[in-house]
Amino acid sequence: MKKKNVRSELPGARKRAYNFFGDYLWNTYGARVLKLPVDAGFTCPNRDGTTGSSGCIFCSEEGSASPTARGTDDVRGQMENARRSFRRSEAETRYIAYFQAFTNTYAPVSRLRELYDTALTVDGVMGLMIGTRPDCVPDEVLDLVASYARPGFELWLELGMQTMHEAGLAFLRRGHTHADTRDAVRRAAARGIPVCAHLILGIPGESWEDMMATAVEVSSLPLKGVKIHHLHVIAGTGLDLLYRAGGFRLPSLGEYVSTAVDFLERLRPDILVHRLLGDRAPATLVAPAWGLHKGTVLGATDVEFARRVTRQGFLWNGPRPRETGNGE
């Protein structure tokens, strides 16, 4: 059951210039809501030879798996391990099962149902997040995901859109097109599934105008959320090899913050911002070093919004997509 929250009324509460997902969770449920990451042992069509064998240029051998989701075999064990890792976990804390590593819809529906159902048996779990690719959500999988939707349950399908530009997708070695993303978002939205798009700012070869065009495109689609990532270089990836060879430069902290605020100003104001930069363990991060300082980046974003006296959607000028998913 949802509770009324008074967090925004507390002294010292931060008023953000963007529609932050963490604030939405608190205001909706009146309690801390934390994600329990799961590595269910999936692979990816961009690794198993279906669309490619080397994976995306930025992806490591672990994918996006959390350290708490490694070294254990079963879904429940991983989630319990993750729950114990939280230093602050009050009795009323609630949890979302987050299927994070690789392509979490890349299996028969019967197997997917078994894994998702198992995750929901863990105490305190009241939501399900499923990370996947836009070319791996056939109708039968979307029907399964939609079957979990109910009042008081936090359901999200996360799609790796990254950019709207085919040249950027080719550089990233994604193995899918933007048309795949548009189709997946619209079919999911037609079933009432909230969709969150992963996006990367700073893809080599993309101009400022290209990134702003992606913001406009995102706002035209029936999306409910975005995860914005800075381009970061992980040891042992194809991107690492290219970076060490001088193949591209990464933006400075100031450049990234300015671009992120530009992007958010053009983003539809109702879209929830799940994140503003990527996370990575220090041991595997090659660059940029400022990516390890999340608080600094978020603080600089707040300062830049305050300097401009703007907020998310300030420069957005378009209709809100209908829930049927046609985006028109």
Residue 304 has a CB neighbour count (10 Å cut-off) of: 18
Do residues 203 and 168 touch, judged by C-beta distance below 8 A? yes
What pLDDT does residue 284 have?
94
pTM attached to this predicted model:
0.91
Do residues 68 and 74 touch, judged by C-beta distance below 8 A? no
What pLDDT does residue 144 have?
98
Rounded average pLDDT over 224-238: 97
Do residues 225 and 194 touch, judged by C-beta distance below 8 A? yes
At 72, the pLDDT band (50, 70, 90 cuts) reads low
For the record, the structure tokens of 210 come out as 């290209």
253-265 vs 208-220: helix crossing angle, rounded to 10:
40
Rounded average pLDDT over 231-239: 96
Instruction: Name the DSSP letter for residue 320.
Output: P
Alpha helix stretches (DSSP H) within the chain: 21-29, 75-85, 109-119, 139-146, 166-172, 178-190, 208-220, 238-244, 253-265, 294-308
Query: How many Å from the N-terminal Cα to the C-terminal Cα in the chain?
Result: 34
To the nearest whole percent, how much of the chain has pLDDT over 70?
88
Between 279 and 153, the higher pLDDT residue: 153
**What separation in angstroms does the CA of 149 have from each of 79, 196, 266?**
21, 15, 30
At 14, the pLDDT band (50, 70, 90 cuts) reads low
pLDDT at 110 over 60: yes
Enumerate domains of the chain plus CATH numbers.
21-308 (3.20.20)
At 168, the pLDDT band (50, 70, 90 cuts) reads very high
Angle at 107 between CA 103 and CA 110, to 5 degrees: 135
pLDDT at 142 over 80: yes
What pLDDT does residue 165 have?
98
pLDDT at 7 over 50: no
At 289, the pLDDT band (50, 70, 90 cuts) reads very high
pLDDT at 48 over 50: yes
